[in-house]
Amino acid sequence: MYSRWLSFALSLLVSAPLFALGFKAQVGATLPEVSITGEHGGLVADGNAWDSKSLRGKLQFLLYIDPDQHTLNDELIDRMEAEHFPRTELGSAAIINLAASWKPNSLIMPILRSKQKRFPATVYVFDKDRSIAKEWGLAADGYHVVLLDQDSKILFEKDGKLDKQEVENFISLLRSKIQTLSSSSEEAGKEKKKSL
């Protein structure tokens, strides 16, 4: 009897973290749809609701950032800017985890608004209570880098600073995916012309 009870208790302990964690961002998984609005956050540009469905349709370079660590992956950001990837194939979104910072939101939001004006092609989103991190299984505090395909399937993800090799791997993966998409688009265009 005791061993049966002990076995049951151990099985609960082993499986409990799986129930507690829910979704965990990892390569090959598809991000669940999430929206953020009102007291939880929204778009930096106008405060309106943001929905992850907007990420679908093209590759997405996605960052989930603690504002206190915004420079952690500057090497990757500099490389991305230098590459001039086509915006027709690649979108970008920066989700700012306001709950992770000791700084008041009243100081962070004007900075985010100026970044949104400086980089209008990037969608800036603010998350006041880590709701997106909870839904997607991202680090509650830190700097999470994610690359998504057109259907929000995770192609790359890492929490923390990317080392030089990881930056190179990320850029190579992105180049390869964009090249594949461009080739597919060209083939579709040729087929369409043939049918006319």
Q: Which CATH architecture has domain 22-195?
A: 3-Layer(aba) Sandwich (3.40)
What HEC string does 48-87 produce? CCEEHHHHCCCEEEEEEECHHHCCCCHHHHHHHHHHCCCC
Q: Is the pLDDT of residue 17 over 70?
A: no
- The Cα–Cα gap between 110 and 44 comes to 9
Res 19: pLDDT: 33
Asked if 67 and 100 touch (Cβ cutoff 8 Å), the reply is yes
Q: Check residues 14 and 88 and name the one with the higher pLDDT.
A: 88
**pLDDT category, 4, cuts 50, 70, 90?**
very low
What local confidence, expressed as pLDDT, does residue 34 receive? 92
Supply the pLDDT for residue 79.
Answer: 94
pLDDT band at 20 (very low <50, low <70, confident <90, very high): very low
Mean pLDDT of the chain: 83
pLDDT for the residue 40: 92
What pLDDT, in 10s, does the model give residues 33-66? Answer: 999 999 999 999 999 999 999 999 999 999 999 9
Q: Structural domain boundaries of the chain?
A: 22-195
Q: What is the pLDDT of residue 165?
A: 96
The helices-and-strands tally (H runs, E runs) of the chain is 5, 8
Which helix (H) or strand (E) segment is 105 a member of? helix 105-118
The confidence band for 14, taking pLDDT boundaries of 50, 70 and 90, is: very low
* Integer Cα distance of 175 and 167 in angstroms: 12
